[in-house]
Amino acid sequence: MSTEVLVSEEARPSATWKTRLRALAAELSFPVGLFIFSRLALFLLARVSLRFDPRLHRAPFTQEGLAGLDAFCRWDCGWYAEIARQGYARPEATNFFPFLPLTAKLLSAITGIGIPVSLVLVANVGGLLSLLVLYRLFRALEGEEVARVSLLLFTAYPFVFFQSAGYPESWMVFFTALAVSLSLSGRPWWAALALGFGGLARHLSLVAGLGLLFQQLRSRGGGWRAWFHRDLLALALPGVMTSLYFVFLWRTFGDPQVWWKVRGSGWAGAWDGLRSWWNGKWGPEVSLYVVTSFIPGVGALLLARHRRWWTLAAFAIPLMLVMWSVGVVGLGRYSASAWPAFLPLGAWLSRHPALRGPVVLGMALFQGMLVFLFVHAYPIN
């Protein structure tokens, strides 16, 4: 009898761990499976298309192979590769923030893999982490079914392939999603720390600070006293961490604002808004960016419908307004960064299962067309 009791008591920790592992596996299976499937599809498409038609619209700056991963290092990825190799050797490079090139340089030094491929690999690590955080956050807010559909929409969104390329967009999504998730769970300082790293990846990440501010005020009732709580000091941390880059620029170039000033010379027009597009300044690819951006734009506005989404709305709506105002040329690669917008879209589509397949498949096919253009160095950047 006593032996049976001892055996059962000893078995409990093992059973508990098995239960936890099963729960963890169940939680990870969908986002990890979606990541693996989507990346295999993208890389296979790039590999096959370049095998059948190796001609490039614009000569590549690198050709390093490794299963064709270098095909996802085009356009601005060249700037990150230059920074990883040489540092910030010229002022025009300061427009690109340091998190991605530094981590890629570290990976290259450890593994011996070339810089362009390292940039793509680092970006995809951020892509996997972002899907894990988004799934957990969406599931906590709306349940498993909506979370799955929302993540499917996000992964199929035409311009989300930039999360797989040598760009920092995947890390912007990860850090902002992690920051919002931590804020919703009542950990403002950890949320601010995560957002600080986001600012070092892409300065637009700092817009998520509005969501963190809203959540802090909301969690304390929204009265005037909430504005004087000590945890509001945490919101200064992302700015302080991002300003470390500006200190570096001051020591290197003698001007902490050089990254902003070069936009008028080396990057003339790169900060234009919808007005310049409306006046016909840009080519047809920018029109494609603008039209497609209304998908997350509508989703961002829909976040205002329910109170439980308001923290996400406080980030997504201002972000879309900023991108439409000063980022029209980058709307393609930037627009998927408004990840909260895919939650209300997923909630709507989950109530219309007959439309789910056609919508997801249609967007995925559109994404495939854009990937073909991107890896062949057409002006999709």
Alpha helices of the chain — where are they, by DSSP H? 2-52, 77-86, 99-111, 115-142, 144-156, 169-184, 188-201, 209-219, 236-253, 258-261, 274-278, 284-302, 310-326, 331-335, 342-350, 353-375
Question: What pLDDT score was predicted for residue 330?
Answer: 87
Cα distance from N-terminal residue to C-terminal residue, the chain: 71
d(Cα 217, Cα 219) in Å, to the nearest integer?
Answer: 6
What does the longest C-alpha to C-alpha distance in the chain come to?
86
How is residue 254 written in tokens?
Answer: 């003698």
The whole-model pTM stands at 0.92
Residue segments in the chain with a per-residue pLDDT below the cut of 70: 1-15, 59-68, 264-269
Closest CA to 343 of 296, 376, 277, 377: 296
What pLDDT, in 10s, does the model give residues 49-74? 888 888 888 766 555 455 567 889 98
| Residue of 181, 186, 185 lying closest to 195 (CA atoms) | 181
Is 315 in contact with 176 (CB distance < 8 Å)? yes
DSSP state of 271: T
The pLDDT, as a whole number, for residue 31 is: 95
Contacts with 251 (C-beta within 8 Å, 6 or more apart), sequence order: none
The pLDDT, as a whole number, for residue 359 is 96
